[in-house]
Amino acid sequence: MDEKSVLTINVVTPDGSVYDSTSHLVICKTTDGEIGIMPNHVPLLASLAIDEIRVKKEDESYDEIAVSGGFIEFSNNTLTVVASAAERKEGIDVSRAMRSKQRAEQRIREAEDSGNDIDLRRAEISLRRAVNRLNVSNH
């Protein structure tokens, strides 16, 4: 890749680095909507939604990373993603994600029955995280 027209992408969590590469295009979903970042994009700081980050590779395929919120910072052709949790597609344990989804669905039913709004909100977030991991693993 031409060094003048590439992005450096770093995805980190409290547990360490999850992804480190270069690309011409990164697509991610912020809390305000989906955004594509290419070389020389204006500096940016944004909150991430629970979704995936797609990094375009030279062969036109994508590396996919499931993120559970966080934020992105872009400047000087470097995109830094700081996420509370992140997993590359190939590292997702599908059976574990399915169990997480089932537990979250059960917790949603229990919270709805008891009328506990806080537990309901937490269970809904857990469900979105599990579904996101399953979606990324199935691409």
pTM of the model: 0.84
User: What percentage of the chain's residues is helix, strand, coil (to nearest 5)?
Assistant: 35, 45, 20
**pLDDT one-digit tens code per residue, 71-102:** 999 999 999 999 999 999 999 999 999 999 99
Distance, in Å, from the CA atom of 99 to the CA atom of 68, rounded to the nearest integer, reads 17
Each domain of the chain, given as residue ranges in start order, spans: 3-89, 94-138
The pLDDT of residue 5 is 82
2 falls in which pLDDT band (50, 70, 90)? very low
4 falls in which pLDDT band (50, 70, 90)? low
Cα distances (angstroms) measured from residue 2 to each of 58, 74, 76: 11, 19, 15
CATH tag for 3-89 (out of 3.10.590.10, 2.60.15.10, 2.60.40.1260, 1.10.3720.10): 2.60.15.10
Give 53's contacts (C-beta < 8 A, 6+ positions apart): 11, 26, 27, 28, 64, 65, 67, 81, 86
**pLDDT one-digit tens code per residue, 98-128:** 999 999 999 999 999 998 889 999 999 999 9
Mean pLDDT of 28-52: 94
